[in-house]
Amino acid sequence: QKEVEQNSGPLSVPEGAIASLNCTYSDRGSQSFFWYRQYSGKSPELIMSIYSNGDKEDGRFTAQLNKASQYVSLLIRDSQPSDSATYLCAVPNRRNEKLTFGTGTRLTIIP
């Protein structure tokens, strides 16, 4: 089982709709979780971090964490064409504390 798994997509969502991105992780003891957005040809940009079970909202973005199910998700409300990017889920490996990234989900917002 991979340490961090994401559906690679592509995920196509109409403009104005909610985009839902999912991530599962293998280390039950993981305590911190990060979402990055990466535009083509650019470096990853941190958009959300979450440490506790439940929801964390920041503008149009909501991160949801369920440690019992080892599942973290990112919701993007009122999706805009500028949200089209690859979204990377990252979880630190507790053994060596290195940040382990999923393969990313490519999101396309259709105008």
Partner 1 sequence: KAGVTQTPRYLIKTRGQQVTLSCSPISGHRSVSWYQQTPGQGLQFLFEYFSETQRNKGNFPGRFSGRQFSNSRSEMNVSTLELGDSALYLCASSGLAGEFGEQYFGPGTRLTVT
Tokens coding 85:
């990017």
Q: How far is CA 92 from CA 20, 29, 53, 71, 74, in A?
A: 22, 10, 16, 14, 17
- 9 CB-side CA count, 13 A: 22
Q: What is the nearest approach in angstroms of partner 1 to the Cβ of residue 18?
A: 25
Residues of span 70-99 touching partner 1 by CB under 8 A: 88, 92, 94, 96-99
Length of the chain: 111
Q: What is the nearest approach in angstroms of partner 1 to the Cβ of residue 102?
A: 8
Question: Per CB under 8 A, does 34 bind partner 1?
Answer: yes
Question: Per CB under 8 A, does 45 bind partner 1?
Answer: yes
Question: Which member of 15, 17, 51, 66 binds partner 1 (CB under 8 A)?
Answer: 51
Q: What is the nearest approach in angstroms of partner 1 to the Cβ of residue 71?
A: 18
How big is the CA angle at 5 (ends 71 and 18), to the nearest 5 degrees? 60
Smaller CB distance to partner 1: residue 6 or 79? Answer: 6
- Helix-strand-coil split of the chain, %, nearest 5: 5, 55, 45
Note the residues at the interface with partner 1 (CB under 8 A): 30-32, 34, 36, 42-46, 49, 51, 88, 92, 94, 96-104
